Amino acid sequence: MTKACTDQVDLYADVRYCRGKKATPGVRPYFYQIPRRDVISIPAPAGNAATTLAASITITENFVLAVDKKWNRIDLVPDKGKFTPESQGETYSKTSKNSASLPLPGTEEEASALASQLMNDDSLFLIPQRNGKFRLFGDDEFTVDVSYSQDSGDAVTGTNTTTLNISVPCETAPPFYNGEIVATDGTFSGATGKLITTPVTPTTGGTTGGTTGGTTGA
C-alpha cells in the first residue's frame, strides 16, 4: 500500500498544445553574466509553494545586487547558442544537469580573456530563449562550471569562435526568471527581454529596478 504523504503538493494538470502554435528553437544572440560575489540575494522559484505547474519553476522576485554592480551583456554568434538540460542521478535523488553552449564571435583579446576569467570563477548566467523569456543558470545551492574551447578556423568560409560551455546541477530545469535585469545599457524585464522605462533607483544594500515597458532588448 502506498504511503499517504500529507506534505506532498499535487501540481499536475493538463499540458495541452494548440496546433499551429510555434515553438521557436534557439536563443537570442546574447546572454547576461555576473560574478556571484556581486550578488547579495539570489531569488528562487516558488517550487511546492506554487499553485500551478508554470508558477513552480518561475522566479518572480528580483536579484539584489551589491551597490553599483550590474549584469554584463555578452554577445553571441547568431543562431548558434543553445541550452540542453537533462536529468541525472538515481531514483529519488535525481536532479537536472543544466548545460549551455555559448559561442562568442572571434578569438581576440576580450573573448580570450573572458573565457580565461570565467573558467576558475563563480558566476551566474541569464540566457534568453528566442521569445525573450530568460532562464537562470546557477543558484544558492550549486556552482556553475565553465569550460571553453577556441576554433581559429582554417578557411575564409570557416568559423572563428570562442565557445563557453557552462553546466550546473539544479533541482529543476533552468528556472524562468521574470524579475529585472540591471545592466549597463538599462534595466530589462526577464519575462520579455524588453527595456524598462523607469530609471534604476539604488537602495540601501542593493540595486533594483522599476516597471516594465518600452522597446526590446535584443
Is-above-0.85 flag for pTM?
Answer: yes
Mean pLDDT over residues 101-112, rounded? 98
Any domain includes 11: no
Q: Encode pLDDT of 6-16 as tens digits.
A: 777 888 999 99
Residues near 77 by Cβ (< 8 Å), separated by ≥ 6?
29, 103, 104, 105, 159, 161
Q: Is residue 214 part of a domain?
A: no
Does position 205 have pLDDT exceeding 60, yes or no? Answer: no
Distance from C-alpha of 65 to C-alpha of 37, rounded to nearest angstrom: 9
pLDDT at residue 35 is higher than 50: yes
> Is residue 83 situated within a structural domain?
yes
Instruction: Tell me, yes or no, whether 72 lies in a domain.
Output: yes
Instruction: Give 171's pLDDT tier (boundaries 50, 70, 90).
Output: very high
Instruction: Quote the DSSP letter at residue 37.
Output: G
Task: Kindly indicate the confidence band of residue 211, based on its pLDDT and cuts at 50, 70 and 90.
Answer: very low
- pLDDT digit string, tens, across residues 186-201: 999 999 999 996 554 5
pLDDT given for residue 22 in this prediction = 86
139 within some domain? yes
Say how many domains are in the chain: 1
Domain assignment of residue 48, given as a range: 30-208
Asked if 170 and 95 count as a contact pair (C-beta separation under 8 A), the reply is yes
Closest alpha carbon to 57 in 49, 68, 66, 67: 49
- 175: exposed, middle or buried (Cβ count in 10 Å: 0-12, 13-18, 19+): buried
pLDDT > 60? residue 27? yes
Domain membership flag for residue 38: yes
